A = this chain, B = another copy of it.
Amino acid sequence: MTTVRRSDATRAAILEAARERFASDGYERATIRAIARDAGIDPSMVMRYYGNKEGLFAAASEVEIGLPELGALPARHIGAVLVTHFLERWERDEVLTAMLRVGVTNEAGAARMQAIFAQQLGPVTRGVCPDPEDAPRRAALVASQILGMALTRYVLRLPPAVAMSTEEIVAWLGPTVQRYLTAEAP
């Protein structure tokens, strides 16, 4: 029942500009004025449509990770599948990069990143790891490796991390994630 408003194009332009700015500048340096300039409209429009800067970020970081079919997969390859999926998702657009950058200096951003990973990674680990009780710990280990690669590759841009192909990364990180999920506790 959502009718098409005449301002939908503007709203979308604002959101796109916001995602770019948040991804490349972080929360504080991504100013509403700059976002509005990128979108080709007046800063006050941003306020009208998204209330304030926090609301804008909340809208810009609305994200569906879309985890793959977990149960239907061969449990032996789940590590590689997870790494592949996250790399693809990370390179599709800038939303996750924005969330990572913002999450480091902004409380709301950190909470959002935390929620997404818990929500998406939690079920996978619970279904796969040997002892369901330390599923959270294993999820955190997996997150540390995946976020660490995202950090070095997409944010800090360490040259060797940028130069690697996704296949290489999967070949190296896949077994790590696999072990964090399924190996006996050391």
Contact = CB atoms under 8 A, between A and B. Distances in A.
Interface residues of A, number: 46
Copies of this protein in the assembly total 2
Contact of A144 (B140, B152, B163, B168): B152
A108 interface: no
Contact of A148 (B28, B139, B147): B147
Contacts of A147: 148, 151-152, 156
A137 B164 contact: yes
6 contacts: A29-B105, A110-B156, A136-B159, A140-B159, A144-B148, A144-B152
Interface of A: 25-26, 28-29, 100-101, 103-105, 110, 113-114, 117, 136-137, 139-141, 143-149, 151-153, 155-161, 163-164, 168, 171-173, 175-176, 179-180, 186
